[in-house]
Structure 1
C-alpha cells in the first residue's frame, strides 16, 4: 500500500484514531471481505446500534465509502453496498491490462536492487483453502506486491492500480473459496518476481498480461456462480458480445490475479 490510509488523488482522509476513521475502516473491511454482501441495505441508525459508533461517525464513514464507489446512496431509503457487475469487472481488468505492464516495466528500469528484493516475502505469500483469515491476509499482501512494485516506477500510476485492485477485491476474496488455486497463484507470482529481479522486461510484461487475463476469467467465473435469473443472462450477454478481444484466451482455471 502507498503510505498510510487512502493515498489516491481526491481521496477523503479522516484523522487517525477518530470515531469516524475507525468506523470507516471497519465498514470498509466488512465490505471488501464480503461480510457485508453486495446489495446489502445499510441504514445509519442500525449500523450505529450494531457497531457502537454514533450516527455522525457512521454517516462520515458512509460518505467516504460512497466517494470510493463501494456504497451507493438510495434516496429516502438510506444506503446500499454497491453491486458487482460483469461490465464493471471487464472494464477494471481492461484498464489494469493497459496500465500494469507499463508500470512493471518502469519499475524494472527505475527501482534499485534493494527495493525489488524487498518484495520477496509479498511475492511468496499464500493462503489455506477454506481458511477465511488467510484469505484476507493473502488478498492484502497480493495487492501490496502489485502496488509497491508499480510505485517504484510511477506513484501516480500505482495509485490508480491500487484503486482498481481494491474495486475488484470482493470478487478476488470470493474466488478463493470458489476454487483452490493457491499453488498456481504462488507459481505465477514467483515467475513475475524472478523476471523483475532479473530485469527481464519482455518476460515480466508477458507474465503480467497473462496474470491479468487469468484474473479476469477467475472473477467472472465466480461472479457467474453467484448470479441467477436476469442478472445471469445479462452477465453472459456482456461476456459474449462486449469483452475486449485482447482479454480473450482459452479457458483455464489456473493463473494469478
Structure 2
C-alpha cells in the first residue's frame, strides 16, 4: 500500500508540469489578444465610432474581435477601470456617456494649465516643429469627415504637447496629455457627429510668434483665449450631437432648480 501511494504521487507529479505549461502558454496569449481588443475598442470609443451610451454584450465583443471569453474580459476590465465602459449586471456593458459637465471640467483644467505651459515654453520652442504641426492642423484631406477629425486631433494634440514638453515640467506634460486624450472624445462627438471640422483661426500662429520671441505674458494670454474659444465651440457641438443622437440629455440644472451649478 505504501508503494501504491508513492506510485500515485509520482504519476501526479509527472502530470503537473504538462498542465502548468499549458496554463503558462495560454495566459500570455489570452492577455495579448485581450490587450489588442482593448486597444481597438478604446480607439472606437474615443473616436466616437462607438457612441456614448451604446450597449453591447461579451458575446458581441468576442464575435467582433474573434477572441475567447478570457481575452474579452481582460479588454472589458481595462476599459471599465479607465471609465470608458460600465457593467450592467445581466445586461452586458454600456459605453460611458458624455455630459456637459465633462466638457466643463476638461476645459476648466486646460485653461489653467495651457497658459502655464506657454509661460514655461517661451523662448524655448522649436519654431519649425510647431509650424509643421500647425500646418497639419489646418490641412484638409480628401477623406470622410471622421478621418479628417482624427488627423486634426492628432496634429492638435502634438502641437500643444510640444509646447508642454518645451516647458520642461514632466508632471505638467503628463497631466495635459491625459486631458487632451479626454478632449479627443469630446471633439470627436461634437464635430465628428455634426460633420464639421474645428476652426482654430490664427491662435496657433500667434502663439508660435510669442513663444519664439520669448514673450511669456502674451503667449499665456493667447493660450488661455484659445482654450476658451475652443471650449465654447466644442460645447455647442457636443450639445447638438447629444440631442441628435439622443444618447444622453445634456441638461445642466441651476442652483435655483436645486441642482449643482
TM-score (norm 2): 0.74
Unaligned ranges ≥5, structure 1: 1-13, 244-257
> Deviations along 1:119-148, whole A, 9 cap, x unmatched?
321122225385322211111111122123
The answer on whether the counterparts of 2:242 and 2:249 sit within 8 Å (CA) in structure 1 is: yes
The answer on whether the counterparts of 1:123 and 1:193 sit within 8 Å (CA) in structure 2 is: no
For residue 251 of structure 2, the aligned residue among 224, 234, 251 is 234
The answer on whether the counterparts of 1:72 and 1:79 sit within 8 Å (CA) in structure 2 is: yes
Q: Secondary structure at the match of 1:73?
A: strand
Which protein has the larger Cα radius of gyration, Structure 1 or Structure 2? Answer: 2
> Deviations along 1:22-65, whole A, 9 cap, x unmatched?
21211111011111000111322211101222332332222222
Query: Which structure: greater helix fraction?
Result: 2
Per-residue deviation, 1:237: 4.6
Unaligned ranges ≥5, structure 2: 1-27
For residue 128 of structure 1, the aligned residue among 127, 140, 143 is 140
Q: How many residues align?
A: 224
Mark the CA change 1:167 to 1:53 in structure 2 (over 3 Å): closer, same or farther. same
TM-score (norm 1): 0.75
Q: CA RMSD in A?
A: 3.0
For residue 225 of structure 2, the aligned residue among 210, 214, 225 is 210
- Report matched runs for 1:67-146 at 5 Å: 67-108=81-122, 111=124, 113=125, 115-125=126-136, 126-128=138-140, 131-146=145-160
Q: Secondary structure at the match of 1:37?
A: coil
> Deviations along 1:143-178, whole A, 9 cap, x unmatched?
122123212321211111111121121221233343
